[in-house]
């Protein structure tokens, strides 16, 4: 049990660093994008920016497919349903959940552990009980990535997170 707490402390420290780095990179990226005229492409851009007028589920499914999908595509419907499964559980907006999910999916794929966006959102949503209060999705993504990177399979990582978050809430933390 002590090694799990040490591991989760390390994960939390990594999550904080990841979040701060991601925010800084995001600001740099937005500044660069705003300073040039973007060309219209078929594939969605790397992030949904605050001023983008796009459905996050459509954007995420299209990004995953590598091409623009129709709004009624089954892949879009699956991602939209995944968003609904976590709607009341996270502090972030659907836009930020889409951005974090895309980032996590890319990191996992580079690590040789590809997962779909819908599977990631649904799996992480299963960790948080709606009656326990809202969690930070980005933090869960970082915890999950570190567990997966360190060798846990999908179910083992989710089970460890479920146990940790359920324990924290019962203790009043």
CA 115 centroid distance within chain = 11
- Give the integer Cα–Cα distance in Å for 168 and 47: 32
**pLDDT tens for the 173 residues of the chain, in order:** 455 556 555 655 565 555 555 545 544 544 444 433 333 334 457 889 999 999 999 999 999 999 999 999 999 999 999 999 888 899 999 999 999 999 999 999 999 999 999 999 999 999 988 777 788 999 999 999 999 999 999 999 999 999 887 655 544 44
Domain positions in the chain are: 2-170
Q: Which residue has the tokens 């500044």?
A: 31
Global pTM reads: 0.72
Q: What are 24's two structure tokens?
A: 């800084």
Q: What is the dihedral of CA 12, 4, 165, 15, to 10 degrees?
A: 10
């Amino acid at each position: 049990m002590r090694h799990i707490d040490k591991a989760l402390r390390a994960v939390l420290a990594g999550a904080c660093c990841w979040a701060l780095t991601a925010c800084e990179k995001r600001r740099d990226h937005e500044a660069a994008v705003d300073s040039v005229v973007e060309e219209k492409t078929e594939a969605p851009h790397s992030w949904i920016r605050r001023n983008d007028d796009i459905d996050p589920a459509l954007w995420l499914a299209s990004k995953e497919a590598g091409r623009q999908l129709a709004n009624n595509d089954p892949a879009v419907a699956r991602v939209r349903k995944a968003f609904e499964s976590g709607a009341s559980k996270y502090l972030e907006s659907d836009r930020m959940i889409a951005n974090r999910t895309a980032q996590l999916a890319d990191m996992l794929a580079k690590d040789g552990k590809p997962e779909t966006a819908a599977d990631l959102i649904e799996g992480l949503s299963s960790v948080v009980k709606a009656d326990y209060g809202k969690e930070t999705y980005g933090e869960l993504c970082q915890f999950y990535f570190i567990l997966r990177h360190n060798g846990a399979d999908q179910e083992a990582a989710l089970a460890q997170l479920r146990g940790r978050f359920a324990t924290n809430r019962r203790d009043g933390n």
